[in-house]
């Protein structure tokens, strides 16, 4: 049988989701926990891979197991065993051909910035005190919808076959001293969201124009885009599948 697990994690103490040869990852931690508790070698396949220090409020992965698993029992069992920065929400039986990565129709990220010093939120949001023009940053969001090739925001020397992504949502909101950037697309490139945010911060500071932003995307050149904002402000918040209903 094939199961999806729905889970979340604080990425502070991990070198990303994907297994690393000499560093602790979310995937390795879950593989070891599932293998030990289920008494069978388990290797999960994630919906994607988050970079070192990035968090996930909603993430999915699939694995195969021989027999029926009672979700309520195994959620409690796993959560009692896993470290405090990883939580399991559900075990979902799916069709044998279902795939956590390839079947995902969209992924949504949020990036958090706080503009006034916050001693209780410094590890989950990026502190940036300079004033930003949110209106023009939202106009920059509209430019994203006009493009599909986002090579300029991708890490160099990556192993992807295409830099095409279809962005379906992108916007900034302000809540008190916090700025939140939301972006949804069918797929994301490595470092893409952090590079977009860094470039938009430069727009909000008046360092580059909307026309510059459009030309940066057309250039397909990472060196022309802005800096990558710190990982600790970035969250994967939603992954959508045609056969999994949201509660």
* Rounded CA Rg of the chain: 19
Is position 51 annotated as part of the catalytic site? yes
Give first-to-last CA distance, the chain, whole Å. Answer: 23
* Cβ-contact 234, 55 below 8 angstroms: yes
User: Which member of 22, 31, 51, 85 is catalytic?
Assistant: 51
- What's the angle, vertex CA 90, arms to CA 87 and CA 91, rounded to 5? 120
Backbone angles phi, psi at 61, to 5 degrees: -150, 160
Q: Which phi-psi region, left, alpha or beta, contains residue 94 (left: φ > 0; alpha: ψ -120 to 50)?
A: beta
Backbone angles phi, psi at 88, to 5 degrees: -100, 135
- The torsion of the CA quartet 152, 156, 157, 163, rounded to 10 degrees, works out to -20
Catalytic residue numbers read 51
């Amino acid at each position: 049988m094939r199961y999806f697990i729905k889970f979340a994690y604080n990425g502070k103490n991990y070198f990303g989701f994907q297994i690393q040869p000499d560093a602790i990852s979310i995937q390795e931690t879950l593989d070891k926990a599932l293998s030990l508790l289920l008494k069978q070698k388990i290797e999960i396949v994630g919906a994607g891979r988050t970079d070192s220090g990035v968090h996930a409020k909603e993430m999915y992965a699939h694995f195969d197991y021989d027999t029926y698993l009672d979700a309520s029992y195994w959620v409690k069992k796993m959560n009692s065993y896993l470290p405090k920065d990883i939580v399991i929400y559900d075990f979902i039986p799916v069709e044998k051909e279902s795939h956590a990565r390839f079947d995902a129709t969209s992924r949504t990220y949020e990036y958090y910035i706080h503009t006034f010093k916050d001693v209780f939120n410094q590890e989950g949001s990026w502190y940036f005190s300079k004033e930003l023009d949110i209106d023009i940053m939202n106009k920059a969001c509209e430019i994203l919808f006009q493009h599909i090739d986002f090579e300029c925001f991708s890490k160099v020397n990556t192993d992807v076959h295409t830099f095409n992504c279809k962005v379906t949502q992108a916007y900034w909101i302000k809540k008190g001293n916090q700025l939140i950037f939301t972006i949804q697309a069918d797929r994301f490139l490595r470092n893409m969201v952090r590079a977009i945010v860094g470039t938009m911060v430069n727009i909000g500071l008046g360092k580059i124009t909307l026309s510059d932003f459009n030309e940066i995307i057309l250039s397909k050149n990472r060196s022309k885009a802005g800096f990558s904002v710190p990982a600790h402000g970035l969250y994967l918040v939603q992954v959508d599948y045609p056969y999994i209903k949201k509660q």
